[in-house]
Amino acid sequence: MLRLITDFDGPIIDVSERYYQVYQLCLQKTKLPNQRIRQLSKSKFWELKRARVSEKNIGIASGLDELQAQEFAQLRRDTVHTQPYFKYDRLAAGAVAALEEVQQAGIDLAVMTMRRVRELEYAFNQHDLGKFFPKNRCYCLSNDYVKTRDVDDKPLLMKRALLELPPAYETWMVGDTEADIVTAKKHGVKVMAVLCGIRDRAQLEIYQPDLIVNDLQEAVDILSYKSLPQVV
């Protein structure tokens, strides 16, 4: 059995609008009433996010001073993963077709995400994605889990998944961040990094994934070929 373990935000869900809405909100809440600021366009903001420019420096680039930028960064961290803003998430282009292709190819599919249970269920309901991921193929954080860092927390999910899932002759991870790459490598799982998420190519290359692909569809096309019976 060939297995694909996919991250959720990035390969399947486009979070850029949520992040941009929160950026605008935090900028407006942090600035002084008559202060002139330089609100970044969505494309510029997302470019900076993908290059891992810090929240504080994004605030400074938007016209905030040093202290305001620190306040902006904290407010953003406290807001971006709260329930009112998940409504801005959208399906990544081609994601549903890619998931359908996985099912048709007979590839075992699991999702591994730093979302909490309630956040994942909300997205499943919002975008009709639960049909692809039965509960025994969902690895996420409990609602009361105290997060540390993704690069520390996500390997714990992978450890549990590899203990619980039935054996596979080959397992691949697909994700869009350094946490996905670190997690896969720590557990000897091959990993494809996608360019459709929150990291650009330069950031992904630092962590040396096995492959860098454009999106989930390209990753699935590669795996679908691998799942075909080999002609001798």
Spatial CA neighbour of 3 closest among 96, 92, 100, 105: 105
User: CATH second-level architecture of 2-15+90-227?
Assistant: 3-Layer(aba) Sandwich (3.40)
Q: Which helix (H) or strand (E) element contains residue 127?
A: helix 117-127
Q: Where are the domains of the chain?
A: 2-15+90-227, 16-87
Query: pLDDT at position 228, please?
Result: 56
pTM, two decimals, is 0.93
pLDDT, tens digit, 9 for 90 and up, residues 30-77? 999 999 999 999 999 999 999 999 999 999 999 999 999 999 999 999
- Rounded distance between C-alpha atoms, residue 33 and residue 207, angstroms: 43
Q: What are the two backbone dihedrals, phi and then psi, of residue 158, each rounded to the nearest 5 degrees?
A: -65, -40
Res. 231 pLDDT band, cuts 50 70 90: very low
- Rounded distance between C-alpha atoms, residue 199 and residue 178, angstroms: 8
